[in-house]
């Protein structure tokens, strides 16, 4: 009951829209914060997996679009900054602080995409030599590990995001761009990753029951 009460306090602070109150609720209800993080990881991942399963356009293009836009934006900022620095009066100060945060977005969204492609924790050569049950067990172990990682990151990154919002951290070199606008991309990306993990588990179970191939060769940059 104490954990449920703590989760209620955290949710109340969240819906109140007060970052300082939310940060205090997270610090005061440590077990509840982890319990709520687990719920977000599993339920959020399930909802994302169902979205991917029923809306193929989102499943196919969401993560690649975010990655490409982030990458091109980083390149444009750096290119313009170099021109401004050496040919004009000087580059804007934010041109060296915003690209790393855009890279953060690109990295973790890309991680989610490559979990779907199974280019992480693959070990395909080793696993194809195992019996079918062993292959399925390894795939389930992958899922447990990824969901465990996601749980940890969602809770810890969420706390850092709330702390940045509560302390009004402004992006260096800017006047009104808040750091938490970028930091919140980390827990959100890991919710997307959880969805990819659950999507893979559903697919693996269907393959196991239908006697289809369990392990396929993963290709970085391949198609989902």
Q: Find the mean pLDDT for residues 131-139.
A: 85
Measured from the Cβ of residue 28, the count of other Cβ atoms closer than 10 Å reads 13
Name every residue whose Cβ is closer than 8 Å to that of residue 206 and which is 6 or more positions away in sequence.
212
The answer to whether residue 152 sits within a structural domain is: yes
Q: Find the mean pLDDT for residues 186-201.
A: 95
Helix axes of 19-28 and 30-39: crossing angle, nearest 10 degrees: 110
What pLDDT score does 178 carry? Answer: 93
Work out the mean pLDDT of the chain and round it to a whole number.
Answer: 88
Is residue 44 pLDDT above 90, yes or no?
A: yes
Distance, first Cα to last Cα, the chain: 43
The answer to whether residue 90 sits within a structural domain is: yes
β-strand partners of 178: 170
The answer to whether residue 138 sits within a structural domain is: yes
Dihedral of CA 65/70/71/77: which sign? positive
The answer to whether residue 21 sits within a structural domain is: no
What are the tokens at 192?
């997307």
Distance between CA 105 and CA 189 in Å, rounded?
Answer: 8
What pLDDT score does 201 carry? Answer: 93
Q: For residue 173, what are the domain limits?
A: 39-117+127-210
The answer to whether residue 27 sits within a structural domain is: no
Is residue 190 pLDDT above 80, yes or no?
A: yes
The answer to whether residue 176 sits within a structural domain is: yes
- Between 192 and 3, the more confident residue is 192
Q: In Å, how far from its chain's centre is CA 93? A: 28
Q: Find the mean pLDDT for residues 199-217.
A: 83
Number of domains in the chain: 1
The answer to whether residue 67 sits within a structural domain is: yes
The answer to whether residue 151 sits within a structural domain is: yes
How would residue 83 be classed by pLDDT, with cut points 50, 70 and 90?
A: confident
Q: Find the mean pLDDT for residues 189-201.
A: 95
How would residue 222 be classed by pLDDT, with cut points 50, 70 and 90?
A: low
What pLDDT score does 223 carry? Answer: 57
User: Tokens 């809306």 sit at which residue?
Assistant: 55
Name every residue whose Cβ is closer than 8 Å to that of residue 19 and which is 6 or more positions away in sequence.
162, 165, 166, 180
* Global confidence as pTM: 0.89
Lowest mean pLDDT among 49-63, 134-148, 208-222: 208-222
Q: Find the mean pLDDT for residues 132-138.
A: 85
What are the tokens at 62?
């969401």
């Amino acid at each position: 009951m104490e954990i449920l009460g703590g989760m209620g306090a955290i949710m109340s602070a969240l819906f109140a829209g007060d970052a300082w109150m939310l940060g205090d609720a997270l610090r005061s209800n440590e077990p509840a914060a982890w319990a709520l993080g687990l719920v977000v990881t599993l339920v959020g991942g399930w909802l994302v997996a169902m979205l991917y399963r029923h809306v193929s356009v989102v499943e196919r293009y969401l993560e690649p679009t975010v990655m490409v836009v982030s990458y091109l934006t980083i390149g444009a900022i750096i290119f313009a900054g170099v021109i401004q620095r050496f040919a004009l009066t000087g580059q804007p100060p934010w041109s060296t602080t915003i690209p790393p945060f855009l890279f953060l977005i690109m990295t973790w969204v890309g991680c989610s995409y490559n979990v779907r492609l199974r280019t992480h924790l693959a070990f395909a050569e080793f696993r194809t030599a195992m019996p079918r049950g062993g292959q399925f067990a390894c795939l389930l172990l992958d899922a447990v590990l990824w969901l465990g990682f996601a749980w940890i990151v969602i809770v810890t990154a969420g706390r850092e995001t709330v702390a940045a919002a509560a302390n009004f951290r402004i992006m260096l070199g800017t006047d009104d761009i808040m750091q938490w606008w970028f930091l919140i991309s980390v827990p959100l990306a890991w919710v997307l990753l959880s969805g990819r993990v659950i999507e893979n588990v559903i697919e693996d179970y269907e393959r196991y029951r239908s006697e289809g191939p369990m392990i396929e060769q993963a290709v970085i940059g391949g198609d989902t």
